[in-house]
């Protein structure tokens, strides 16, 4: 008896030791390069050039006929005036009317080119919030160490930042080894159906294959990952699909004083309630891959969990899913966003509908999402109609020279950060290049405190001059480092 008890205790102790040992060893430990010397950037002049670009009210519109072309033309002139060497040495093509494709020919044209992306268009300022801006959204003001305005983060600072870097390099007499393309779409905020869709088709027609693509999507974040104090550079390696479903139900109509047992409003409400009560299954692979890269920087309790996912996986996923931000990386999410129906308080509605916005995890599809929703709603009276959507992207590999290059450049420029791959929950125009390369990465070298995130598409969008200068240094370094690629 005593022997049996002590041997069970021994076994228990041994298992615990194994779990702890795994937690201690958990995570990747890659060598870090030393910081690189920053290029000579004229801060004030660079900030002024960005400010000029922000003054162009380049709003995209779902209806191309309604787009005001003048601000886009003005932006083109601002770029020409701000970056004379870029316009002297690079070839510029206008695609789909307002999008721009620049080509910087490389020394070794047989190598696959690199494609860097930044969109020209911005989202409008929500009517009624203009007065909440500390500095006018299209005034291009520089104050308190920041450049203020719509597009400062999303993403004219990347657009002019890339050209600042190229202009500097051209001044130094630099010619890249690989050809570099710069794709500047004009309709990203409304789906990119013309701009980057057309640029990607053009490159495909020319038989081009790309070494890698870099677009927006990831940032340097702080205080987003529980238990981690250091900033993390999140590089998007995949993005979710998205689709809007219209759920509709029809009823008989008539006077509400003599209602039938089932009404259209009741059926639709029941369907929405069932969907909310049965969320899509949790899949931890994207989050666990991100955490593996943060490995040793994570608090021990978390490492214990993630190093032993076989044992703790489901519990870890359930715990993390309580945070809506992380939940969006763990499953396909679904959100009813609009409701319509009824004309009068005492008339039974004949036709009611809801819009359900769905963000699909890579590995699932629009079709598999529909069939799951049909199963959960289980009511033939409720019709589910998908509108045109986008399937989730493929997952870009990270064991590639291109990802290593990105990682190295981030560490050289941003210093004390961790670099991790992650899943982008929004959609970017980079998806149009999926047939030209499987190496699509999404990252801007801009730090984002939690308080800054609402500024994206929100009020008081701004970038600090320091962050802007660092972002220029990032593109500069990336191009220089790509000599080794």
Per-residue CA distances from 452 to 123, 153, 397 (Å): 17, 10, 30
- Using the rule CB under 5 A, give the single segment among 148-156, 226-234, 343-351, 393-401 that binds Zn ion: 148-156
Out of 154, 164, 188, 215, the active site residue is 188
Nearest CB to Zn ion, comparing residues 442 and 470: 442
Nearest CB to Zn ion, comparing residues 154 and 187: 154
DSSP 8-state class, residue 244 = E
Known active-site residue 126: no
User: Cis peptide before 93, with omega less than 30 degrees from 0?
Assistant: no
Separation between Cα atoms, residue 224 and residue 234, nearest integer Å: 11
Q: How far is the CB of 301 from Zn ion (least distance, A)?
A: 36
Q: How many helices (H) and strands (E) does the chain have?
A: 14, 17
Q: How many residues bind Zn ion (CB under 5 A)?
A: 3
Map the footprint of Zn ion across residues 197-236, applying CB under 5 A. 216
Q: How far is the CB of 222 from Zn ion (least distance, A)?
A: 21
Separation between Cα atoms, residue 383 and residue 257, nearest integer Å: 27
Site string for Zn ion, 150-179 (x = CB under 5 A): ----xx------------------------
Known active-site residue 63: no
Question: CA angle at residue 118 from 148 to 399, to 5 degrees?
Answer: 120
Instruction: Assign 3-class secondary structure to 446-483.
Output: CEECHHHHHHCCCCCCEEEHHHHHHHHHHHHHHHHHHH
Question: CA angle at residue 165 from 33 to 221, to 5 degrees?
Answer: 55
Nearest CB to Zn ion, comparing residues 154 and 412: 154
Residue 23 Cα to chain centre, angstroms: 30
Q: How far is the CB of 154 from Zn ion (least distance, A)?
A: 4
Nearest CB to Zn ion, comparing residues 363 and 426: 426
Q: How far is the CB of 455 from Zn ion (least distance, A)?
A: 13
Nearest CB to Zn ion, comparing residues 216 and 418: 216
Q: Which residue is nearest to Zn ion (CB)?
A: 154
Q: Does 239 bind Zn ion (CB under 5 A)?
A: no
Beta bridge partners of 147: 142, 463
Q: How far is the CB of 284 from Zn ion (least distance, A)?
A: 28
Map the footprint of Zn ion across residues 265-304, applying CB under 5 A. none
CB neighbours of 333 closer than 8 A, spacing ≥ 6? 279, 280, 327, 358, 359
Q: How far is the CB of 118 from Zn ion (least distance, A)?
A: 8
As annotated, the active-site residues are 121, 188
Interface with Zn ion by CB under 5 A: which residues? 154-155, 216
């Amino acid at each position: 008896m005593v022997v049996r008890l002590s041997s069970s205790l021994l076994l228990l102790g041994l298992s615990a030791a194994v779990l702890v040992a795994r937690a201690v060893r958990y995570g990747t430990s890659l060598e870090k390069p030393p910081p690189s010397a920053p290029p000579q950037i004229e801060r004030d002049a660079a900030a002024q050039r960005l400010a000029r670009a922000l003054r162009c009210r380049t709003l995209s519109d779902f209806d191309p006929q309604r787009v005001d072309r003048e601000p886009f033309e003005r932006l083109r002139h601002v770029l020409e005036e701000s970056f004379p060497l870029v316009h002297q040495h690079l070839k510029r093509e206008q695609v789909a009317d307002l999008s721009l494709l620049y080509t910087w020919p490389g020394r070794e044209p047989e190598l696959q080119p690199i494609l860097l992306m930044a969109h020209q268009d911005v989202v409008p300022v929500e009517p009624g919030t203009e007065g909440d801006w500390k500095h006018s959204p299209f005034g291009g003001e520089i104050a308190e160490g920041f450049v203020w305005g719509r597009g400062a983060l999303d993403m004219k600072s990347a657009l002019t930042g890339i050209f600042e870097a190229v202009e500097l390099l051209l001044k130094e007499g630099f010619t890249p080894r690989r050809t570099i393309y710069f794709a500047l779409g004009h309709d990203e905020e409304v789906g990119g159906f013309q701009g980057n869709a057309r640029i990607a088709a053009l490159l495909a027609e020319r038989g081009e294959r790309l070494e890698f693509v870099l677009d927006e999507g990831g940032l340097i974040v702080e205080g987003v990952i529980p238990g981690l104090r250091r900033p993390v550079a999140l590089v998007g390696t995949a993005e979710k699909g998205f689709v809007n479903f219209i759920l509709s139900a029809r009823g008989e109509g008539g006077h509400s004083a003599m209602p039938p047992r089932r009404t259209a409003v009741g059926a639709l409400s029941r369907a929405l309630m069932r969907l909310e009560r049965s969320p899509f299954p949790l899949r931890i692979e994207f989050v666990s891959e991100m955490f593996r890269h943060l490995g040793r920087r994570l608090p021990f309790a978390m490492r214990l969990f993630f190093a032993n996912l076989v044992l703790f996986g489901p519990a870890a996923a359930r715990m993390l899913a309580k945070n809506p931000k992380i939940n969006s990386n763990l499953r396909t999410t679904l959100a009813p966003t609009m409701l319509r129906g009824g004309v009068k308080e005492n008339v039974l509605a004949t036709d009611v509908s809801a819009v359900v916005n769905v963000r699909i995890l890579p590995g699932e599809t629009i079709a598999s999402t529909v069939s799951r929703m049909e199963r959960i709603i289980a009511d033939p009276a409720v019709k589910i109609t998908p509108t045109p959507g986008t399937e989730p992207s493929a997952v870009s590999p990270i064991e590639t020279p291109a990802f290593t290059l990105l990682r190295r450049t981030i560490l050289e420029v941003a210093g004390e950060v961790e670099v991790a791959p992650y899943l982008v929950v929004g959609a970017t125009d980079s998806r149009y290049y999926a047939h030209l390369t499987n190496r699509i990465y999404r990252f801007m070298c801009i730090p984002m405190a939690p308080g800054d995130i609402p500024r994206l598409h929100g009020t008081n969008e701004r970038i600090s001059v320091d962050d802007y200068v660092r972002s220029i240094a990032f593109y500069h370094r990336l191009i220089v480092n790509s000599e080794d690629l």
